[in-house]
Amino acid sequence: MSSLEALRPKKRLFLGLLLASEFFVALVLYAFWRVSYLGLENIFEYLPALFGALLILISGISFGAVCNMVLAIKGLPTLKLFHRYSVGLIKWLFPLAVKIGKLFGFKRRQLEGSFIAVSNLIFFKSGIKVPAKKLLVLSPHCLQLSSCPHKITRDPNNCKRCGRCNVGDLMKLSDELGFTFFVATGGTLARQVVKKIRPQAVLAIACERDLMSGIQDVYPLPAVGVLNIRPNGPCNNTRVDMDEVRRVLKNITKDDDNE
């Protein structure tokens, strides 16, 4: 079973909660329209109908974006028209989805992992491919061995590539393929790097929480996430599946001759 197939239940979990959030918002919008009906009619006879049509249009686009994600999970053709709205929709509805998820006993971390799976699905379904030199790969500083004396944040070239952590592996891969590799201490520094380098796409390695916030922060810049491995707990000597990183890189990079 491939890694993407293994993530399928998580995608369905998040999309189910996202759809529930959509229905809730639609009910709230309908209630708001009903309450404001008389006031709008007093202003202009056709204003309630116009306002209602606007709310239906907004709800229709939102439901269309969610249905598009469901089609993607099923492996069916999707409409690229809705891809551009998907991440923005998820960002807006995620807090509500978390609250609904808690009512059913789901933890925030589960939903964050599901968000990443859905976001990655949208990325791959969009068919985004960029030259390696236009790709930025971001990693958290906890990927470096905590006892290492060499400071690699801001300058990963300080890594001695001793093989005791995955930073050296990523540096070697960067030399091989030509992408830009950077180790960030947090979201603020990561955003600064994205703004400075101006890549065409980002591959981020982090925990669920940081990946979710990072993908949302760089939107509409396309970003794909790879979860780190935490054998010692969060933020302490973490690892990354290098085979997974290579698989993702193969799917999102293209030769410069194909630009």
Per-residue model confidence (pLDDT) at position 10: 67
pLDDT in the model for residue 209: 86
Task: Using the predicted structure, report yes or no on whether residue 77 has a pLDDT greater than 80.
Answer: no
130-258: CATH topology is: Rossmann fold (3.40.50)
Identify whether the C-beta of residue 235 lies closer than 8 Å to the C-beta of residue 144: no
For 134-169, what is each residue's pLDDT tens digit?
Answer: 999 999 999 999 899 998 987 888 999 998 999 999
Q: Report the pLDDT value the prediction gives residue 243, as an integer from 0 to 100.
A: 95
**Residue owning tokens 């001695």:** 160
Looking at the chain, the whole-number percentage of residues with pLDDT higher than 70 is 90
pLDDT tens sequence across 116-136:
888 888 888 778 899 999 999
Residue with the larger pLDDT of the pair 78 and 45:
45
pLDDT(248) > 90: yes
**Tokens standing for 206?**
């982090």
Name residues whose C-beta falls within 8 Å of residue 246's C-beta, 6 or more positions apart in sequence: 173
Token pair belonging to 211 = 């990946």
Band of pLDDT at residue 188, cut at 50, 70 and 90: confident
pLDDT of residue 259: 46
Residue 78 backbone class (left: φ over 0; alpha: ψ -120 to 50; beta: rest): beta
Segment 235-240 mean pLDDT: 92
Beta carbons within 8 Å of 164's beta carbon, 6+ residues apart: 145, 148
- List the domain boundaries for the chain: 3-125, 130-258
Identify the CA nearest to 147 among candidates 230, 240, 238, 237.
237
Mean pLDDT of 88-115: 82
Contact 118, 15 (CB under 8 A): yes
User: Measured between alpha carbons, how far is 108 from 74 in angstroms, rounded to an integer?
Assistant: 25
Q: Give CA–CA dist 21/18, Å, rounded.
A: 5
Q: Is the dihedral of CA 16, 87, 209, 158 positive or negative?
A: positive
